[in-house]
Amino acid sequence: MTVTRRAAVLGSPIAHSLSPVLHRAAYDELGLTDWSYDRFEVDEAALPGFLGELGAEWAGLSLTMPLKRAVIPLLDEISDTAASVDAVNTVVLTEDGRRLGDNTDIPGMVAALREHGIEEVPSAAILGAGATASSALAALARICTGEVVAYVRSEARAAEMREWGERLDVDVRTADWADAAEALRAPLVIATTPAGTTDALATAVPERPTTLFDVLYDPWPTELAARWSMFGGAVVTGLDLLVHQAVLQVEQMTGRSPAPLEAMRHAGEKALAAR
């Protein structure tokens, strides 16, 4: 059958992306046989040209690094959620040619936590201070009633996190990475650092850990997540986040709701097991 609607994920590097697996699983489950979802290696310099060549068959784009901020000047409108962290991971292309930007990472984080029974926490800790950490702060703005402590490696990063806190109306205190073991006693710990960064903290997991949200999914489990689970703590995974934010993308791009969460999760788990 002729493809009439297209979507894709853009970024650099992009070969590792699970987005095609998740979105194609959704299309299959929804019976959208005339939809396709691809991946394209696109960096900041190539992004304007790529967007400029998209035809009327295009419905939407998922964006990963390094495009989440670079795309903003190229859009007609962005949501308040995306504006709150200066990051767009979803572009919906309308029939009248408009480009609308949104951020599904933030509500995706909230949904992933809610799925694990986390509706509200009195305080939280964040490990790291990159782009994902700012999205974590925005998610915590919705569910955390008290202080958030961010553990970072430099004063420059600490200043950034405090600025994000002010912008998002979150009570943020920063602490040195050398004291990151203290974070593990928080009611909710969100690890936003690259693979291997938190491995050394695994031996510091308390005897009765609470909830760890580790945004990584490959390789999995991380040493920290494995130890956390072994001690009986709840673990929210990067795949949980990936699936929940993709569900929202599918709904926005296709106009079909609800997107098939479990079919998408199963496809993601199967793909990761095959790696």
Closest CA to 84 of 141, 32, 123: 141
Kindly report whether the peptide bond that precedes residue 73 is cis, defined as omega within 30 degrees of 0: no
Q: Regarding beta strands 90-93 and 58-63, do their DSSP bridges make them parallel or antiparallel, or are they unpaired?
A: antiparallel
Question: Three-class SS of residue 19?
Answer: helix
Closest CA to 19 of 85, 27, 138, 191: 27
Contact present, 105 and 159 (Cβ < 8 Å): no
Strand partners of residue 273: none
Give the pair of three-digit tokens for residue 41: 């290696």
Q: For 147, phi and psi rounded to 5 degrees?
A: -75, 145
Strand partners of residue 124: 148
What is the rounded distance in angstroms from the CA atom of residue 24 to the CA atom of residue 177?
A: 40
Among candidate residues 6, 24, 68, 244, the one labeled active-site is: 68
| 270: annotated active-site residue | no
Residues 6+ apart with CB under 8 A from 84: 103, 106, 138, 167, 168
Residues forming the active site: 68
